[in-house]
């Protein structure tokens, strides 16, 4: 059940919608079905992977030396 971003062609409202199967999408503001799915990138949150030295911005073995 992905969440898609849409833009209404009639009133320019931008909104997100959780889609179940073959659901029709209507603008929550003006209720038209004249909407366009926006291009959006997959988002992912988490921790950045550290390099083998333990520091992403330098080659020091100790992050306490990084500023």
Q: Give the pLDDT confidence of 30-66 residue by residue, as tens digits.
A: 999 999 999 876 665 565 555 555 556 666 556 666 5
Q: Does residue 8 sit within a domain?
A: yes
Domain housing 24: 1-39
Q: 48 is written with which tokens? A: 């950045």
| 8 A C-beta contact, residue 8 and residue 32 | yes
Domain tally for the chain? Answer: 1
Q: How confident is the model at residue 21 (pLDDT cuts 50, 70, 90)?
A: confident
Its pTM stands at: 0.57
What's residue 19's pLDDT? Answer: 86
Write the DSSP string, the chain. Answer: --EEEEEETTT--EEEEE--SS-----TTT--S-EEEPP-------PPPPPTTS-SSSS-S-GGG--
């Amino acid at each position: 059940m992905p969440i898609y971003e849409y833009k209404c062609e009639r009133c320019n409202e931008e909104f997100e919608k959780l889609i179940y199967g073959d659901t029709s999408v209507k603008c929550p503001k003006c209720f038209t079905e004249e909407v366009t799915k926006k291009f959006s990138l997959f988002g992912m949150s988490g921790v950045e992977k550290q390099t083998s030295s333990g520091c992403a911005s330098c080659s020091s073995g100790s992050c306490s030396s990084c500023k």
